[in-house]
Amino acid sequence: MGARLRTVHYLEVADLACVRGGRAVFRDLSFRLARGDALIVGGPNGSGKTSLLRLLAGLLPPAAGTISISAEGTQIADREERAKFIGWLGHYDGAKPQLTPREALRFFARLYGTASDPSLLEVVGLSRSADLPCQYLSAGQKRRLALARLKLCGRPLWLLDEPLASLDASGKALLLNLLRDHLAGGGIAVIATHDPLDLDAARLPLT
Amino acid sequence: MRALGALLVRDVRLAARAGGSAVLALAFFAAVVTLVPFGIGSDAKLLARVAGGVLWVAAVLANLLALDRLFQADYEDGSLDLLALSPLSFEGITVAKMTAHWLTTGLPLTILSPVLALLLNLPATAYTALIVSLLIGTPAVSAIGSVAAALTLSIRRGGLLFPLLVLPLLTPVVIFGAGAVLARLDGVENGAIWLLAAFSVAAVLLAPFVGAAALRLNLSE
């Protein structure tokens, strides 16, 4: 399923600080994740979980500190270079109301340069709604579509922001399966969540 | 290129589908132009004289309708994050967006313009000048509009700020575009079409870089 993962050997964060709207959200954050590692980021609302993920993705510049990955033998510190290794699952799923899940997946496959895989819709349980415009999908179904997109893009470093939101029990099981698969295949994942997640992972509580 | 094509095709599809911006812009263009004879009377000579200017102003305004949400929709629903993380550069994103906008707005407006010119009694000799000037000038409208849309994408109610930002920049397009039509009517050669072409080429070549800088700025906030 999806494309073969490009290898990221490790993700290293050193003395990272984040400032939002003139206020320091966190600072002196350091950790290192190697292939197959997962990190679960916890903490109350406003503690900077989403900001941390956006920093890691390169969507935000850090106020201080460094984020680097080692991929295919070379050290990469550049933000836009690092972005090409990121699998992103944010609050909003980017599902266009006028497009069907099948069209959306085909678009992302072409955009990310991977082979389109319609069987993924079946894997995430959307085969019955595959040709229904996304405006008729429930929040949970859109989440499942986002999971299919995440899998399809085949990126080695997954950043998941509240991935369990609006998923039902089988959806949560599906997410866990995808995550375990990803980690077993040598991927890395950083997950920001409030919910308990039955996953063998390091914990990082933000305050 | 494949990624750029994918975004281009998606945006054209979104604009063309029900509720998309393409039909809306065309209808607005037709409605404004049809309204003009009601406003200034049915003096055929006067209408023929102002036809070029009216069509150009209406075309620019119709273009703006679809422009202010060009990046905003993607910004609000999270698509822009996914575009930023794709192999496509910010320059590529801007090129795909402005091209899709032109294909779904500028080009259809140009094709519709002779029909509306008929309503305004534009003399047959000026039709070529009208169509050519729109064909050359509307890409500049899409290009400059894309830059302004990238700048205002994170502003709530940016739709109000947007015309104020973009209309002054589009003044040369209207002057040269309508000027080319008038020159043809008067049977003189004033070079307006060449100035329009030069302006358009400069706008289209620069817009991807300025637009990309605006996107970087906005995403880093």
Average pLDDT, whole number, for chain A?
89
- Chain A residue numbers with beta carbons less than 8 Å from the beta carbon of B3 are 110-113
B1 part of contact set with chain A, CB < 8 Å: no
A131 in a structural domain = yes
Check the CA dihedral B53-B115-B30-B173 and report its sign: negative
* A3 pLDDT tier (thresholds 50, 70, 90): very low
Mark yes or no for CB contact A60/B14 under 8 Å: no
Type of residue found at B66: A
Mark yes or no for CB contact A107/B74 under 8 Å: no
Cα–Cα distance measured from residue B88 to residue B78, given in angstroms and rounded to the nearest whole number: 16
The nearest alpha carbon in chain A to B17 belongs to A98
pTM greater than 0.90: yes
Specify burial of residue A113 (Cβ count, 10 A radius: 0-12, 13-18, 19+).
Answer: middle
- CA A30-A34-A35 angle, to 5 degrees, is 150
- Angle, to 10 degrees, between the axis of helix A139-153 and the axis of helix A169-184? 10
Closest partner residue to B79 (CB to CB) among A84, A91, A94 is: A94
- Angle, to 10 degrees, between the axis of helix A139-153 and the axis of helix A101-112? 30
The nearest alpha carbon in chain A to B215 belongs to A59
Percentage with pLDDT > 70 across chain A? 98
Asked if B120 and B33 count as a contact pair (C-beta separation under 8 A), the reply is yes
Mark yes or no for CB contact A110/B77 under 8 Å: no
- Chain B residue numbers with beta carbons less than 8 Å from the beta carbon of A91 are 78
B212 part of contact set with chain A, CB < 8 Å: no
Listed by start position, the domains of chain B span: 2-219
A63 in a structural domain = yes
User: Which positions 80-139 of B are in contact with A (Cβ < 8 Å)?
Assistant: 81-89
Mark yes or no for CB contact A110/B74 under 8 Å: no
The nearest alpha carbon in chain A to B216 belongs to A59
* A5 pLDDT tier (thresholds 50, 70, 90): low
Q: State yes or no: pLDDT of A164 exceeds 60.
A: yes
CATH number of the structural domain spanning residue A90 = 3.40.50.300
Q: State yes or no: pLDDT of A2 exceeds 80.
A: no
The predicted pLDDT at position A21 comes to: 84
A57 part of contact set with chain B, CB < 8 Å: yes
3-state secondary structure of B20: coil
- Chain A residue numbers with beta carbons less than 8 Å from the beta carbon of B77 are 92-96
Span A65-107, pLDDT tens digits = 999 998 877 888 888 889 889 999 998 888 898 999 999 999 9
Q: Which two tokens stand for residue B123?
A: 């003399």
The nearest alpha carbon in chain B to A82 belongs to B85
User: What is the interface size between A and B, counted as CB pairs within 8 Å?
Assistant: 73
A2 in a structural domain = no
- Chain B residue numbers with beta carbons less than 8 Å from the beta carbon of A90 are 78, 81
Q: What is the mean pLDDT of each run of 10 residues along chain B (221 residues)?
A: 92 86 92 93 90 95 89 91 94 97 96 94 94 97 96 81 91 96 90 96 97 92 74
Q: Which residue has the tokens 């082979």?
A: A115
Domain of A175 in residue numbering reads as 8-193
The predicted pLDDT at position A175 comes to: 94
Cα–Cα distance measured from residue A157 to residue A69, given in angstroms and rounded to the nearest whole number: 10
Cα–Cα distance measured from residue B174 to residue B180, given in angstroms and rounded to the nearest whole number: 10
DSSP symbols for chain A: --PPPPPEEEEEEEEEEEEETTEEEEEEEEEEEETT-EEEEE-STTSSHHHHHHHHHTSS--SEEEEEEEETTEEE--HHHHGGGEEEE-SS----TTS-HHHHHHHHHHHHT----THHHHHTT-GGGTTS-GGGS-HHHHHHHHHHHHHHHT-SEEEEESTTTT--HHHHHHHHHHHHHHHHTT-EEEEE-SS---S--EEEE--
Order of strands, edge to edge, in the sheet holding A38-42? Answer: A86-89, A157-161, A188-192, A38-42, A202-205
Number of domains chain A is built from: 1
Mark yes or no for CB contact B77/A93 under 8 Å: yes
Q: State yes or no: pLDDT of A207 exceeds 90.
A: no
Closest partner residue to A112 (CB to CB) among B9, B20, B87 is: B87
Closest partner residue to A111 (CB to CB) among B6, B20, B81 is: B6
The predicted pLDDT at position A1 comes to: 38
Q: What is the ipTM of this complex?
A: 0.92
